[in-house]
Amino acid sequence: MLEHELNNPGLREYTQVIINEADRLQDLMKRLLSPHRPMQPGPVNIHEILERVRSLLSAEFPLTLTVLRDYDTSLPELVGDREQLIQAVLNIARNAAQAIKGQSDGVPNSGEITLRTRVSRQVTLAKKRFRLALELQVIDNGPGIPDDIREKMFYPLVSGRQGGSGLGLTLAQSFIQQHQGTVECETRPGQTCFTIRMPLITE
């Protein structure tokens, strides 16, 4: 209804973001409430997923955040569940953006998140050896993860933010593990890096 009343094309672009995300999240919730429903794998371009995450972050945090790209464009497509992968990366990146916003003190564009992709070779994931793997990093210049939650941040209901659900990283890890992948984190004040590794299946 709002989209039909807007004459400004730029504003209609935002309503499309709202509509697309509402549809995607509704589908995701149906899948979360049906735990025995299998994944829906297919060919996935990881950079298309990262561009989707980037646009969502830019719309949600327009004043405090700059999202940078550092892509290896030679990467082949993944076989994966597109919606799960969007949600996994978005949960990690949104956590970073919220931490940055909490320390920004209103300074415009003081925060940076870098989305980086690379190829790793001869990687062991879930006790299985893969010739090639995707290495995806979400790097931020925020305050770092507090010591008291660092060891348990992937547990359900653990949150370092007031009002946080404590489910974002838990879901992200679960979705990545369903893709035979891993999530690791290195953090210190001024830089936190989440590294996702998933197998690249090549002919």
pLDDT score recorded for residue 88: 92
Lowest pLDDT segment from 7-16, 26-35, 78-87, 96-105: 26-35
More confident residue, 122 or 7: 122
The rounded distance, in Å, linking the Cα atoms of 138 and 145 is: 14
pLDDT score recorded for residue 70: 96
pLDDT score recorded for residue 154: 63
The rounded distance, in Å, linking the Cα atoms of 32 and 168 is: 13
The rounded distance, in Å, linking the Cα atoms of 21 and 167 is: 18
The rounded distance, in Å, linking the Cα atoms of 186 and 91 is: 17
Q: What is the pLDDT of residues 68-122, one digit of tens each?
A: 999 999 998 899 999 899 999 999 999 889 888 766 555 666 789 999 999 999 8
The rounded distance, in Å, linking the Cα atoms of 49 and 17 is: 14
pLDDT score recorded for residue 99: 84
The rounded distance, in Å, linking the Cα atoms of 76 and 181 is: 16
pLDDT at 50 over 80: yes
pLDDT score recorded for residue 163: 45
The rounded distance, in Å, linking the Cα atoms of 21 and 26 is: 8
91 exposure class (CB count in 10 Å sphere: 0-12, 13-18, 19+): buried
What DSSP element (H or E) covers 113? strand 111-125
pLDDT score recorded for residue 32: 60
Q: What is the pLDDT of residues 131-177, one digit of tens each?
A: 889 999 999 998 888 777 766 666 654 554 554 445 678 888 888 98
Q: What is the pLDDT of residues 186-195, one digit of tens each?
A: 988 889 999 9
The rounded distance, in Å, linking the Cα atoms of 78 and 94 is: 23
Taken in order of first residue, the domains within the chain and their CATH numbers are: 38-199 (3.30.565.10)
Distance of CA 148 to the CA centre of its chain: 23
Where does the pLDDT of residue 8 fall: very low under 50, low under 70, confident under 90, or very high at 90 and above?
A: confident
Considering 29-38, 125-134, 140-149, the range whose residues carry the highest mean pLDDT is 125-134
Query: What tokens appear for 185 in the block?
Result: 């984190």
The rounded distance, in Å, linking the Cα atoms of 72 and 25 is: 29
43 exposure class (CB count in 10 Å sphere: 0-12, 13-18, 19+): exposed
Predicted model pTM: 0.75
More confident residue, 181 or 151: 181
Q: Which sign, positive or negative, has the C-alpha torsion 103, 105, 108, 110?
A: negative
Calculate the alpha carbon distances from 177 to 8, 25, 66, 197 in Å: 42, 20, 29, 10
